[in-house]
Chain A
Amino acid sequence: MDRVLLIVLLAVLPQAGLSACVAHEAAPPGVETLKPAGQSLSSGDYIPGEVAVRLCANVGDEQIERVIKQHRLTIRKRTSPTIVVLAWEDRRPVEQVAGQISGESIFCIVQPNYRYNTQGGIK
């Protein structure tokens, strides 16, 4: 099993073409992440190029479209009426995007889209 430890899934910067993988700019997960104001900071495994947001009450689709276009974002998925995953294709890190949109009144919470895995299946 020691051998398994020597091969790992790592994240490089979001790729905007072939060159993205070439430079020594790899940013493995584990960097400090942005949190809502007043919250303590933490670190952890999150999906690069995405943030998860909770929409505030009574936010219309037009408002959402306008805001995300303004920030060069797209809706990757909407898992419930109020939980939305926003994504981007450029190289902006999660912290930067989260910081940019956390001031928007339509978003009550903005955070990294943390990754979770099953905790079983060990043979």
Chain B
Amino acid sequence: MKCTLKITLMLFLMCLLPASLSSEIISSAQNYVPGEVLVTPGGVYTANTITAMGMELMAKHKGATRFIRLKLKPGQSVESAVQALSTENWVAHVQPNYIYHATAVPNDPRFAEYWGLQNTGQSANGATGIAGADMSAVAAWDETSDCSSIVVAVTDTGVDYNHPDLSANMWSNAAEALDGADTDGNGFVDDVRGWDFVQGDNDPMDFNKHGSHVAGTIGAAGNNGIGGTGVCWNVRIMPLRVLGSTGSGSTAEAVAAIDYAVANGAKVINMSLGGTGGFDGDLQSLAIGSANAAGVLVIAAAGNDGVDNDVTPNYPSSYNQPNIIAVAATDQNDALASFSNWGATSVDVGAPGTNILSTFPPARTPVLGCSWNYDTGTAIGWTLQTWDNINNIQVANTVAVTNEDFLSPAFSLTDTPGSAYAINSSYRGESPACDLTGQQGAVLNYELNLETEFGFDFLFLEGSSDGVIWNNPFGTGVGFSGSTLGSWLNSSLLGADGNLDFLDGIATAQVRFRLEADFINNLDGLHVDDVNITVPGTVHTGTEYHFLNGTSMATPNVAGVAALVWAADPGLGHLQVRNRIFNNGDAIAALAGNTTTGRRANAQFSMPLHAATGLSATAVSATQVDLTWMDNSVSEVNYLVQRDSGGGFATIATLAADGTSYGDTAAPVGANLSYQIVTQARDGRTLVSAAVNTTTPAPPSGGGAGGGGGCLIPSGIQSGCMLAVLGLMIGGIALARRRIN
């Protein structure tokens, strides 16, 4: 009974509060359990009280916020039950049983390595960083992870549309048919899954790796139990191949792809590519301008040269078009990546771009009969020639296999074993014919040890289908010049694999190394070893995930965020989506002064804002009103609690994000009060909840409760009364103790 004595006054006060004070605004989103409500008793009730209303007591919950859970009569809506119960004088508070979702962490087994989405300080590719230096994707996914309403064009090396983590999220052109005709009249025949602008066909398969990696960052299928996940778990990736097998392309492919993307429904174009060539008003700039007119965003890599784009522009990211988001790369510590370009006026935001795990095509494999390592000490089947360039005649050949230098044991091919090449000479090593029938995406890979007069003596790599006409995969007249300083360099690491896709399907494909020397300064020349023509693998083993670095990797992170924002808030215009990303990123020191925003993209805070709902105001004492509400946003940075006691709403408290309750312990006594909750976003967006009213009781006359006045302890809380009262009426407890003492 000690407990009863202590709370006599408090219970009296509670009895004075009409149940109708517990106003309730029910969310129209139906995010609550149907057929049941939660009630905080404020007076006497029995089982009969409940059954008389056609309801059933499901459970009693004890603790700091004790309540009972009622099952409604069949067919009764939650709304009507709340209305009915709110008029009962034994009910202090009633509300729907709101549904809370678990934080949306996908079940993909390698998700933990995706630090850009969620950085816990974990190791990724052997490197660790700072927890929180990420895009807060997990929190954003509580809003949505589904971007399936958004088409994102990936203008790149193609996409491995057969990858198990990508295939479900590929765009398809529903208006086109595989019938050998341009069914949809868009100028491209049978473009059912995008287009290959490099080879001019309808197969945008990735023969490199880059485009598949980029696509996976945007939208590898999430929560499918395999591999990793993209920023979007579901999305429609439109693969547009504009870069060849070695990752190089030109204006002509890029512009055609932008035009295609805009004409065929893309809302976001990812351009993880760049170069120094371009100017405002050129073809690509105008195409992006047309995309802007069509409401399409272009997300472009700032470049990997470690330079200031304000000084040395990198295109397309440096075009002056409002729909371009130029992206720098940040690392796991929220520092600017060492390779990343920047620009106070030309680069917009940063995004994770180091140690980025994503999808790859199957590993490339050498074509049978198209590999030469000279390890027998001979160049079997090779045609070796030396020419006098002055007289344009063939002379005694010196090109040969040698053991003076090699990578694989114990020989390599060289121009002049044991000595420097001669001036005014041409040295040629032509491979035997190899069969590329049925192959696509052929690439020449080799090991190189070179010393030529820089800028004057050149090594050219060439390919031919007939041994007569030789084509240079790097462009007419483009060759190597300089020195590897005696070291062997792999062409892949050198970025100098030869794109031989012009030999795809050729049964008599040949490659040639040709060293051209001018009239002065002869040096050691060429050593080449381990020459291979490779083609893409086709079998997925489940291991096709790799780490890459680059602003190319940062760019699709932003493209994914753009798709997320747009999917969650489809009414936005493209520049509003851009501004969401610009204004809601995390301000980090490394980007301050190096980008237009100084921010790293943050998916969570770019999400839509929703007003608080279900605001309930309960006067629990003469001076305290308890407020509860539903937190419906992932993007709020704080809540403002506002009270109107007659002179208009004024902020009485600022709460941190995720708040759902507040106790106004300074409420005016005996006053009619209104409350509302203002939800605030990082970029200044605000939304105001519906207001609710309550009245604080006047101080009791006579100075006491008179022994309780027939107000009994609610039967459901007797055993836990102290806990219950502690939770509800802290101010009252202090008063009660004074009375007892």
A60 partner residues in chain B, CB cutoff 8 A: none
Q: How far is the CA of A33 from the CA of B494 in the complex (A)?
A: 28
CB <8 Å contact, B275 and A115: yes
Q: Decide if A40 is an interface residue (CB 8 Å cutoff).
A: yes
Q: How far is the CA of A83 from the CA of B249 in the complex (A)?
A: 14
Q: Give residues 150-201 of B contacting A (CB, 8 Å).
A: 156-157, 187-188, 197, 200
Q: Give residues 37-60 of A contacting B (CB, 8 Å).
A: 38-50, 52, 54
CB <8 Å contact, A52 and B301: no
Q: A3-B487, A6-B482, A23-B518 are in contact. Are A114 and B278 (CB under 8 A)?
A: yes
Q: How far is the CA of A19 from the CA of B477 in the complex (A)?
A: 12
Q: Chain B 548-575, CB within 8 Å of chain A: the 1/0 string?
A: 1111110100000000000000000000
CB <8 Å contact, B519 and A119: no
B551 partner residues in chain A, CB cutoff 8 A: 119-120
Q: How far is the CA of A64 from the CA of B213 in the complex (A)?
A: 39
A21 partner residues in chain B, CB cutoff 8 A: 389, 426, 458, 460, 477, 479, 516, 518
Q: How far is the CA of A33 from the CA of B277 in the complex (A)?
A: 9
Q: Decide if B122 is an interface residue (CB 8 Å cutoff).
A: no
B476 partner residues in chain A, CB cutoff 8 A: 14-15, 47-49
CB <8 Å contact, A116 and B392: no
Q: A7-B494, A18-B392 are in contact. Are A118 and B549 (CB under 8 A)?
A: no
A80 partner residues in chain B, CB cutoff 8 A: 187-188, 197, 255-256, 259-260
**Chain B, residue nearest A3 (CB):** B485
**Chain B, residue nearest A118 (CB):** B247
- What's the minimum C-beta distance from B518 to chain A, rounded to whole angstroms? 5
Q: Please tell me which one of the listed residues B210, B275, B389, B484 contacts residue A6 in the complex, with CB atoms under 8 A apart.
A: B484
CB <8 Å contact, B480 and A9: yes
CB <8 Å contact, B277 and A44: yes
CB <8 Å contact, B251 and A6: no
Chain A residue total in the interface (Cβ 8 A) = 63
Q: Decide if A79 is an interface residue (CB 8 Å cutoff).
A: yes
Q: Give residues 464-507 of B contacting A (CB, 8 Å).
A: 474-485, 487, 489, 493-496
Q: How far is the CA of A60 from the CA of B255 in the complex (A)?
A: 21
Q: Please tell me which one of the listed residues A10, A17, A54 contacts residue B478 in the complex, with CB atoms under 8 A apart.
A: A10
Q: Give residues 77-123 of A contacting B (CB, 8 Å).
A: 77-85, 109, 111-123
CB <8 Å contact, A109 and B286: yes
CB <8 Å contact, B275 and A79: no
B649 partner residues in chain A, CB cutoff 8 A: none
Q: Decide if B250 is an interface residue (CB 8 Å cutoff).
A: yes
Which of B210, B250, B456, B480 is most buried by chain A, counting CB atoms within 10 A of its CB? B250
B249 partner residues in chain A, CB cutoff 8 A: 115-117
B518 partner residues in chain A, CB cutoff 8 A: 21-24
- What's the minimum C-beta distance from A55 to chain B, rounded to whole angstroms? 11
Q: How far is the CA of A9 from the CA of B480 in the complex (A)?
A: 5
Q: Give residues 658-707 of B contacting A (CB, 8 Å).
A: none
- What's the minimum C-beta distance from B26 to chain A, rounded to whole angstroms? 49
B313 partner residues in chain A, CB cutoff 8 A: 42
Q: How far is the CA of A109 from the CA of B286 in the complex (A)?
A: 10
Q: Please tell me which one of the listed residues A13, A19, A49 contacts residue B389 in the complex, with CB atoms under 8 A apart.
A: A19
Q: A42-B279, A44-B277 are in contact. Are A114 and B251 (CB under 8 A)?
A: yes
Q: How far is the CA of A64 from the CA of B51 in the complex (A)?
A: 88
- What's the minimum C-beta distance from B290 to chain A, rounded to whole angstroms? 11
**Chain B, residue nearest A54 (CB):** B283
B484 partner residues in chain A, CB cutoff 8 A: 3, 6-7
Q: A42-B313, A115-B275 are in contact. Are A79 and B552 (CB under 8 A)?
A: no
- What's the minimum C-beta distance from B345 to chain A, rounded to whole angstroms? 16
Q: How far is the CA of A123 from the CA of B572 in the complex (A)?
A: 38
Q: How far is the CA of A104 from the CA of B552 in the complex (A)?
A: 38
**Chain A, residue nearest B286 (CB):** A109
- Across the A-B interface, the 6 shortest Cβ-Cβ residue pairs: A120-B552, A44-B277, A114-B277, A120-B550, A80-B256, A79-B256
Residues of B at under 8 Å CB distance from A? 156-157, 187-188, 197, 200, 208-210, 213-214, 242-243, 247-257, 259-260, 272-284, 286, 301-304, 313, 315, 339, 387, 389, 392, 424, 426, 448, 450, 454-456, 458, 460, 474-485, 487, 489, 493-496, 516-519, 548-553, 555
Query: What are 26 sample pairs from A and B whose C-beta atoms fall under 8 A apart?
Result: A3-B485, A7-B494, A9-B474, A9-B478, A13-B477, A21-B389, A21-B518, A24-B518, A33-B277, A43-B276, A44-B275, A44-B278, A44-B315, A47-B250, A52-B250, A111-B282, A113-B250, A113-B252, A114-B250, A114-B315, A116-B274, A118-B248, A120-B304, A120-B552, A121-B247, A121-B552
Known: A20-B477, A119-B272. 12 other contacts (CB 8 A): A3-B487, A7-B450, A8-B480, A9-B478, A33-B277, A36-B282, A42-B277, A45-B277, A47-B476, A77-B252, A119-B273, A122-B304
